[in-house]
Structure 1
Amino acid sequence: MKNTPCIDRLALAVLLLGGIALLSLPASAGLSKRLKVSGEWDGRELHAHVVKSRDVRKDPLSGTILGRIVSIDWRRRLLTIGPLGIHWTADTDFDLVNASGLYAGQFIKVSGKLDQAGVLQARSIKPSSGEGSRNRMQLIGHMSFLQLRPDGTTEVRILGVPTLIPQSLTSLALQLTHRQDTRRPADQLTFDLAGRPVVIGGEVDISPRYQRGVRLDPERDDERLRLDVSAQLEAFYTFSSNVALFLELQADTEFELYRDSGADSNIDRRLKRGETWLFWGDIRDSGVSLQLGNQNFQDIREWWWDENLDALRLYYTRPTLHLELAVAEQQVRLASDESGIDARDQDVSRLLGLARWKWSTHDALSLFLLSQRDASGGDRIGDRLGEGELDERDADLTWLGLRAAGKFDIGKRQELEYWFDSAWMRGSETLIDVDESPDGGFIVTRREHRDIDGWAFDIGATLETEWRWKPYFTASYAMASEDFRQTGLQDNNDKFGAGVTRFRYYGELLRPELANLGVLSLGVGIPFWKASSVDLMFHDYRQTSARPFLHGARVRARPTGESRDIGQALDLVIGIEEWRHVEIELTLGVFHAGAAFGESAGENAYNATLKFVYNF
């Protein structure tokens, strides 16, 4: 297939710049770390539950503490949170509280700077929610290393507060086992093998799903109820402090409980190989790590990728810079119900690249690259294809894109989180049409080769407030040109504001690919209880150019190509994560067909999913 020299030369330049960065940055860069640590204070030490990196360029003496006031010395204007003394003056900025309104047991958030005596000189003090444990504490500041315990726990001090960080939060390899949409308890089953720990974990997922009207045809029954049950088993083993092995196996069962068309109920079962990789982290303290095997590629918004791929990946990590470069190609079949590698993945090789620069504490710029080559083409008119050999599209494509994302305060009671994703695509594709063969399989009847290029963007923001009920509001717009296609690895899945549940931000029912489409989305969410939330999202869909197809859509009807108005959708998503092992998620969606569906305009489709997950 035809190459794309312009984009490829640019991609090569990106890779060369990445290589120069790897070679030019000193191994000692960024060893001093600034962290945000949330956990429980036991009276002597802070036991960390969540650890996030922060900008090391900040003043090492500056920091923030959130916690419960233990005592107040009014004469000296001194209060304590845990072991940390905090001094306020007439210049301290009190927000929503004044000095006389402080009391022992109150949860507050204090920002300031440590003096020579180790006392935090308060620059600002404001009340904080007392939700959660009365021993809850959060620290932001530079850390000083104390020691590494035999069980892998790291002892540090942040703002002078003794802090224990478990291996699960410091091990680069162990962090790779945790996806954005999974929660694993800290106390997973562990046993020794050859003097090293083996960690066993996983999840059981039970999800009843109801669907009606997806044909957008009231004359054709398509009501459906099914039950999906899956079990995932994981094993993590460390050969040394920075070399680890991860194995994952998944069993899926799908029960067809009811189908309005009268089709017989059936049960589908399969075993599926999950992530299976070997990791060598921070080789010789260089910041360089290697990962080999079937591994998960997932960006925060899943706009570029969320897929397990057989790959070799190189990482380079520093406090403000993160680089990834990988080559991927599927080597063996994924599941027990497949006779071989899926025809769509056969002989498809990929080069994936990521460069992320964290230019401030809460803001980052990311550069994405994906170059795909499909060597499986060659089907000619008249060729016969078996059931597992049909691949109607072969493509050599290159994507290059930029993401800007972050957040900032608006006044004292609001915070705005923003994102801007953009992508450019260029390459060529070969499309085939087939007819069913009388003796089974297919016969190729048409073959078309064409050059394509396109663009897409997604821009949006979420406003988080401290108003009553702490609502958050989201507005976004995404658009793609007529020939643009997403990478095929995307899932378009994220969560907004203080929400606890990730969901498909282009619509839970329609789930379109961002291709020849514009999507306007408006949403509101409210957190409730300790770790739960409800989100309501509205979507309006319009094609960029009126065409008789809608890439990736879950409705079975096709647009006529005479109108750009695809329709509107409304989603309600409730997530409940109040327990250590259990998650509950309810998703309700409705899609209202627009004029693009001709005689089906005005018809509705419905979807409901209830998901129970037990993590261990």
Structure 2
Amino acid sequence: MQLAKYFRVKRLALSVSCLATLGATPALAQSNDESELDQSYPRLVEQSVRSKVSIISEGDRRLGLGPDGGTKSTEAGLDIKPEWVWQLSPNWRSKLRLQAFGATGQVDVSDEIGGTTTDGFFALREAWLDYNGLSDYPGESIRFGRERLKENTGLWWDDDITLVRWIFDTSLLDSTVGVARKFAEMRTDSNELQDEEQEITRFFAKTRWQWRKNHYLGFLVTHGQGSGDQAQEAAERGQSSDEMYTESLTWAAVQADQAYFDWHSHDAFQYFAQVGAVRGTDSVVGQDSAAPSGYRARERDVAGWAADLGVRAQLMDTPRWVIGAHGAYASGGSERGDTDAFRQTSLASNRSRFTGTRSQVQRFGEAIQPEWSNLKVATIYTALSDRDTWDANLIYHRYWLADQAGTLRSDLIEPGFTGTSDDLGQSVDLVLGYYGDDATSWAPFDVRLSGGVFMPGDAYGEQADDLRHRVVLDVSKRF
């Protein structure tokens, strides 16, 4: 069995290495006559292959409460991402980014796509065209294709999706508006979308204005319009489901910050604040003895809100040493009728540089990774870094349910609440990063260690495990 796993990963690495070699061929040809290619189109302007070896260890996702025993695991993974950027003409540019992943067992690739476990796949991550001939502004363009749609917090957008969007990016104003839709996961292991993600058209817009040096105001809006009958089909099949199917939902958020996600900052004090809300309708499937299948789909009104407030103080500039605190809230609602529970856009990763370093850190804990819904979190952290080459982050989280009778969705833990307490527990994360990678040298590597422990609270009852861990060691290199 172990030999089979080994050869599967080896075949995956060899396949993508061949693919990367083919992609590098135009770059070699380019270097032979650089002056001529500078005047000709199309030309390859950027090409790289990022390879990463990971060791992933995690504790029981059922916290010892599952009927079939524990689900602890320690696995190894290999991740290869080749990408190319071409200048097709003075105004047209394109990008292609692929991914190949293989592991010795089922693991969660939560730094890329949370909530899914896999032992290997090939994937199309990005494939887009960009046209910047709309005006004389160099930061204005229109882009269409498959792209990683992302904003700084990771709490609203951070996902690969097919889209068309207008981009306007200057030193004082950064804006975008567009329409997007997921047609497939673009992966060989699980290409079909989950039921609750199918047939949703999304309209999105964001603007961020620097109204004073290093002080920003932002506004973000997303609208999801469902056009399928997934809830009704699930009910007709007699399928019980905890999923919420989008009918027509609108999210809006207002943000203010002082360069909070800029790890090069020298500011002695920084702040971040955002308040958001979701309004509209969704569908859920519930039991109904009068229905032929025993289940019926019904529409309900949704009205939830959420907030995240953070402050950071710099104690030392070189190396940079900071301490910070956050308070986050997302409304809950246990009733099956109209709900006041906040829910995320389903495009979020909840990963960002909220500690003020180069490392992307899970906002609500590496070992639990909950959705920002029916949740109250108090966070304190400290971080030390030289800004560019290395950093160390230590984070503590304390969790409560916003609605004691409600539930909580998590990428890594299957909840089993008693309904007698709102105490979810606490967690501690340690994230270390070293960024020595240089594409012109074979010697340096990037090394990242992200480790977290989650200690369940009274909401899980006395039979739950005292501690759950998740530790990921990544060693990566860009060629």
TM band (smaller chain): 0.7 to 0.9
Which of residues 100, 106, 109 in structure 2 aligns to 1:251? 100
- The answer as to whether partners of 2:168 and 2:175 remain within 8 angstroms in 1 is yes
Provide the rounded CA distance (Å) in 1 between the counterparts of 2:103 and 2:363: 25
The residue that corresponds to 2:271 in the other structure is 418
Q: Does 1:586 align with 2:437?
A: no
CA spacing shift, 1:564–1:403, aligned 2, 3 Å: same
CA–CA separation in structure 1 for the residues paired with 2:278 and 2:342? 7
Task: After TM superposition, give the deviation of residue 531 of structure 1 in Å.
Answer: 1.1
Counterpart of 2:472, as a letter, is T
**1:476 and 2:322 correspond:** no
2:405 maps to amino acid: R
Q: Match of 1:466?
A: 316
- Higher RCO, Cα 8 Å, sep 6+: 2
Q: Is the 8 A contact 1:309 1:328 kept in 2?
A: yes
Shift of 1:330: 2.3
Contact 1:332 1:341 in 2 (8 A): yes
The 3 A distance-change label for structure 1 pair 189 and 422 is: farther
CA RMSD of aligned residues (A): 3.0
Assess if the C-alpha contact under 8 Å between 1:292 and 1:311 holds in 2. yes
Quote the residue 1:542 is aligned against.
Answer: 400
In the alignment, the residues of structure 2 paired with residue 498 and residue 325 of structure 1 have an alpha-carbon distance, to the nearest angstrom, of: 28
| Distance change (3 Å), C-alpha of 1:562 and 1:309 | same
| SS of the residue 2:63 aligns to | coil
Deviation by residue 1:422-448 (Cα, 9 ceiling, x = unmatched): 1011011111259xxxxxxxx773433
Structure 2 CA distance for aligned equivalents of residues 485 and 324 of structure 1: 23
Partners of 2:236 and 2:65 in 1: CA distance: 39
Bigger fraction of residues in strand: 1
1:491-510 equivalences in 2 (<5 Å): 491-496=349-354, 499-510=357-368
Question: What does the per-residue CA deviation read over 1:202-230, in whole Å, with 9 as the maximum and x for residues that have no partner?
Answer: 31121110011332218832221122212
Instruction: Write the deviation string for residues 251-298 of structure 1: whole angstroms up to 9, x where unpaired.
Output: 11121299xxxxxxx983321111110000152315641001001111
Q: Could you tell me which amino acid in structure 2 is paired with residue 373 of structure 1?
A: Q
Q: Which 5+ residue runs of structure 1 have no aligned equivalent?
A: 1-187, 259-265, 435-442
Q: TM-score, normalised by structure 1?
A: 0.62
1:606 corresponds to 2:469: yes
Change (3 A) 1:189 1:473: farther
Distance (Å, rounded) in 1 between the aligned partners of 2:130 and 2:413: 41
Contact 1:548–1:558 (CA<8 Å) still a contact in 2? no
Contact 1:518–1:544 (CA under 8 A) maintained in structure 2: yes
Residues 502-559 of structure 1: per-residue CA shift (max 9 Å, x gap)? 1102101111111111110001111269611111100000111103521225222421
Q: Which residue of 2 aligns with 1:237?
A: 86
Matches of 2:355 and 2:470, distance apart in 1: 24
Identical positions, percent: 23
2-side partners of 1:214 and 1:355: how far apart?
38
Q: Which residue of 2 aligns with 1:269?
A: 120
Q: Which residues of structure 2 form unaligned runs of 5+?
A: 1-25, 31-36, 108-116, 261-265, 288-292, 333-340, 440-444
CA shift, 1:339, in A, is: 5.5
Q: Distance in 1 between matches of 2:205 and 2:118?
A: 40
* Structure 1 residues 39-93: Cα deviation after superposition (integer angstroms, max 9, x where no partner): xxxxxxxxxxxxxxxxxxxxxxxxxxxxxxxxxxxxxxxxxxxxxxxxxxxxxxx
Q: Measure the CA separation in 1 of the matches of 2:163 and 2:236.
A: 32
Q: Is the 8 Å Cα contact of residues 232 and 296 (structure 2) preserved in structure 1?
A: no
| Cα displacement (A) at 1:357 | 1.1
CA distance in 1, matches of 2:357, 2:395: 13
SS of residue matched to 1:556: coil
Q: Please say if residues 416 and 463 of structure 1, whose CA atoms lie closer than 8 Å, have aligned partners that are also in contact.
A: yes
Residue 527 (structure 1) aligned with residue 356 (structure 2): no
Q: Is the contact between residue 279 and residue 292 of structure 1 (CA under 8 Å) also seen in structure 2?
A: yes
- Which of 188, 193, 208 is matched with 1:356 structurally? 208
1:594·1:602 contact (CA, 8 Å) conserved in 2?
Answer: no
The match for 2:300 among 432, 441, 450 is 450
1: distance between equivalents of 2:242 and 2:136?
Answer: 45
1:225 match: 74
Computing the radius of gyration from Cα coordinates, the structure with the larger value is: 1
Q: CA deviation at 1:416?
A: 1.2
Provide the C-alpha distance between the structure 2 equivalents of 1:567 and 1:556, rounded to a whole number of angstroms.
15
1:415 Cα deviation from its structure 2 partner: 1.0
Say if 1:255 and 1:267, in contact at 8 Å, map to a contact too: no
Distance 2:123 2:234 in 1: 35
- Kindly report which structure 2 residues correspond to 1:137-152, keeping only aligned pairs within 5 A, or say none: none
**Runs (4+) off by over 6 Å:** none
How much does 1:382 deviate?
Answer: 5.6
